[in-house]
Chain A
Amino acid sequence: MGDRLLEVRNLKTYFYIKEGELRAVDELSYTVNKGQFVSLVGESGCGKSVSALSIMRLIPYPPGVIVGGEIIFDGKDLLRLKEEEMRSIRGNRIAMIFQEPMTSLNPVLTVGRQISEALETHRGLSNQDAIEEAIRLLKLVGIPDAERRVNDYPYQFSGGMQQRIMIAMAISCKPALLIADEPTTSVDVTVQAQLMELLNNLRKEFDTSVILITHNLGLVARYADYVNVMYAGRLVESGSIDAIYNQPSHPYTMGLIASVPRLDLQRKESLHVIEGTPPDLTRLPQNICAFASRCRFTLGKCIKAMPELEQMGENHFVACFRHNETKALAEAET
C-alpha cells in the first residue's frame, strides 16, 4: 500500500434538467491506493454512483456533464483522454460491477460470449482461446459445471450466479481498479456473504484495488480499509475504517451508524432515527451545510457558511463546524 492508483480531485458532475442545475457530485476529492479497499457510503441520491460513473466516463450526456475536476489514474487525467483511449482503459484497467446483474447482462447473448467479448477486445485472444478463458473464469468465481453452462443465457442463472458472472467479466482483464456499485443489494444475506468473500479473495489474489459503493455499513466494517461518507454530492467525512467506526465525528456518519439495528447488542426499545429526508439536489441551498436541516446540533454558523473538510487525525477528515464537540454532544444526549 501507499502507492497511489487513483486520485479524484474536485470532481463536479452536474445534470441539467428541466428543474434546473442538479449538482449530483460537487467538489469531491478522494484517493485510492494500490491494493486498497475503499468504500463510498451514503444514501440513494447522494452522488456515490454518479462519482463512479464519472471515473468510467459513462455519464449520460445530455443531461449530465462533468463540469470540472481531475481524475488521475496511473498518472493520466482520465477526463482529458480521447474516447478511443478511454475505451482501452474501461473494462480493461478499470472494471465495474453493477447493482442489478439481470439488467446489466445482455439477455440474448450466452454468458460465455459476453465474457469472451472483453477478452477478444482487450487481450486480443482468438475466439477459441477466449471461450476457454471464459470457462476458466467461471470456474474461478464458483460456477459449477462451467464447461456446459458457458453456453447458457443469463436468465438460466439465479441472481447470485448472475452476479458471479458479472464478477468473472469484471476480473477477466485483471483490472487495476474494480468498482463495485451496490453489488449485493438485490441478493439474500447468505449469497451476499458468498459474493463478498469471493470478491475479497480475488482482490487479494490479483492485488486489485476496490471501490465498494454501498449503504450497508456492516459490509463496510467487514471489508473496507478506508471509508468515504457522502451526503448531497459532497464528502462529509472520510477516514480509515477504525477512525470512522471508533470516532465518527460528523453527525450524519454518527446517525448512519446508530440507525442500523445490531445483532451483537441488547435489543433497544427505539432505534436512533435521522429525522427528515435527503435534500432535493436541485434546490440545494449553496454555501451552507447541506445536512443542517436534519442535524441535531445545528448552530447559527451552520446555515451561514459551508464547512470545509478539516483534518482530525492522521487518517481522518471531517466537514463539520462542530466536529470537536459532536462526540460529547451525542454522549450528553443519551
Chain B
Amino acid sequence: MKGDGALIQVKGLIKYFPVLAGVLKRKVADIKAVDGVSFDIRHGETLGLVGESGCGKTTVGRCILRLHEITSGQIFFEQRGITQLKGEQLRCMRRDMQLIFQDPYASLNPRMTAGDIICEPLLVHNMVRGNEYRAKVAELMKMVELDPRMEDRCPHEFSGGQRQRIGIARALATRPKFIVCDEPVSALDVSIQAQIISLLMRLKKELALTYLFIAHDLSVVRHISDRVAVMYLGKIVEITDSDELYANPLHPYTRALLSAVPIPDPKIDRQRKRILLSGDVPSPLFPPSGCRFHTRCWLAKDICKESQPELRDIRSNHWVSCHLVV
C-alpha cells in the first residue's frame, strides 16, 4: 500500500461518535464506528468497500468527503492533507469530490425540478453563467441517458432508476475527480441495477473518474471494483485485488460473506460449501476484545480473544488481518 499514484490516501482513520447522556449531556461512551483504517485509492481505480450494516463503511466514505469531523488520522487528496482544510479551501476541494446516495427517493428535493437539482452544485460553486445554464443541464442529462426534455419535471414523476440517474448527473456536474458511491444500486430492481452499474462503468472510463464503491452486495462489488476492502466492526479485515479476493478469500469473515451470496444457477449452487454465521454483528459501543470477529468465527482460538491481529501482506498485495492465516 504505497502512496505513489494514489489519488486518495487514508492513514489511521478513526471516527468515534460520542454517546451523550444526562441533563448535562456528558459523554458516557464512544461508538467506535471506524477504528484505525488505512488504505489508498489509485488514480482511475474503483475500490469496493463491503461489509454488513453498521460496520462503518458509510462513515469511511463520509469522512473522506469531510462530511464528518474525524477523531484522528490523516486523509490525503492528491498528496495534500485535507483534514485541516477550512473555508474557501475546503469549498474548492469539494468540487473534486462528490457523493452518490443510496436512496434515490430521499436524496432528491421533491420540490425542485430535475434540472435545478442537477445544476445546483454548479450554482453553489459559481461554475455556470446564466446563459449557459440550460445547455449545461441538457449536457448532463444526456450524459446519464435521460431525455433533456424532462428537465422541468419533479422527482416524483421519475422512476427509481431515473431518479438515481438524476443523482448521478448531480454528482457529475462539478466535473469531480473522485466519487463516493454509497450503495447506489441497493434500492433498485435487478434489471435497473444492471443499467445503473453499466452507466457508472461507462462514465468512469469516459470521464477518467475514481470511485469508492460502498455496497453490501458482493457480486455487484466484484463486478465494478478493481480492488476490494472488506470491513468488519470499524476495521478492514482483508484488502486485495478483486479477482484475487474472490478466487482466494483468506479471512474467515470474507469466506462467510462470499458463501452467503447464492449463485443464480441451481446446479452450481448446490455444490458450494456454505458457511452460516451465527448471530448479529456485535455493538460498536463495546467491540469484542482481540480480533473483533472472534465471537462469530468458527475457527477462533484463544489467541483471537486476547490480541488484535494486524493487517499483514500475506502475498503480493493481499492484506489480511487474522492470526490464523499464515
Contacts and interface: CB of A to CB of B under 8 A. Distances in A.
Interface string B25-60: 000000000000000000000000000110000000
A194 interface: yes
Interface string A240-270: 0110011000000001110111111001101
A193 interface: yes
A268 to B, nearest CB: 8
23 contacts: A43-B189, A43-B190, A188-B53, A189-B261, A190-B256, A190-B257, A191-B280, A194-B277, A217-B190, A221-B264, A221-B269, A222-B262, A241-B266, A245-B265, A256-B190, A259-B190, A260-B190, A261-B220, A261-B222, A271-B197, A273-B194, A277-B162, A278-B189
Nearest to B264: A217
Interface string A207-237: 0000000011111111000000000000000
Interface string B119-154: 000000000000000000000000000000000000
Given A216-B190, A255-B191, 20 more contacts: A43-B190, A44-B189, A158-B280, A160-B280, A189-B52, A189-B217, A189-B261, A193-B276, A215-B190, A218-B264, A221-B263, A245-B264, A261-B223, A262-B219, A263-B219, A263-B261, A264-B268, A267-B243, A273-B195, A274-B194
A193 B190 contact: no
B99 interface: no
A197 interface: yes
Given A197-B276, A215-B189, A277-B162, A188 B52 contact: yes
A44 B187 CA distance: 11
Contacts of B258: 263
A158 B54 CA distance: 11
B176 interface: no
Interface string B191-208: 111110110010000000
Given A222-B266, A259-B190, A189 B220 contact: no
Interface residues of A, number: 46
Contact of B216 (A189, A216, A220): A189
Contacts of A80: none
Contacts of A277: 159, 161-162, 192
Nearest to B266: A221
Contact of A257 (B53, B216, B259, B264): B264
A219 B262 contact: yes
Interface string A174-206: 000000000000001111111001000000000
Interface residues of B, number: 46
B277 to A, nearest CB: 5
Contact of B219 (A188, A256, A261, A272): A261
A111 B74 CA distance: 46
Contacts of B267: 242, 245-246
Contacts of B242: 267
B198 A273 contact: yes
Interface centre among B194, B216, B243 (most CB of A within 10 A): B194
Interface in B225-243: 242-243
Contacts of B201: 270
Interface of B: 52-53, 159-162, 189-195, 197-198, 201, 216-220, 222-223, 242-243, 246, 256-269, 274, 276-280
Contacts of B243: 267
A161 interface: yes
A246 B263 CA distance: 14
Contacts of B190: 43, 215-217, 256, 259-260
Interface in A36-65: 43-44
B26 to A, nearest CB: 25
Contacts of A273: 191, 194-195, 198
Contacts of B193: 259
B146 to A, nearest CB: 12
B55 to A, nearest CB: 9
B280 to A, nearest CB: 5
A263 B53 contact: no
Given A160-B280, A263-B218, A272 B266 contact: no
What 3 A-B pairs are tightest by C-beta distance, nearest first? A218-B262, A259-B194, A261-B223
Given A189-B218, A267-B223, A260 B198 contact: no
Nearest to A259: B194
A189 B260 contact: yes
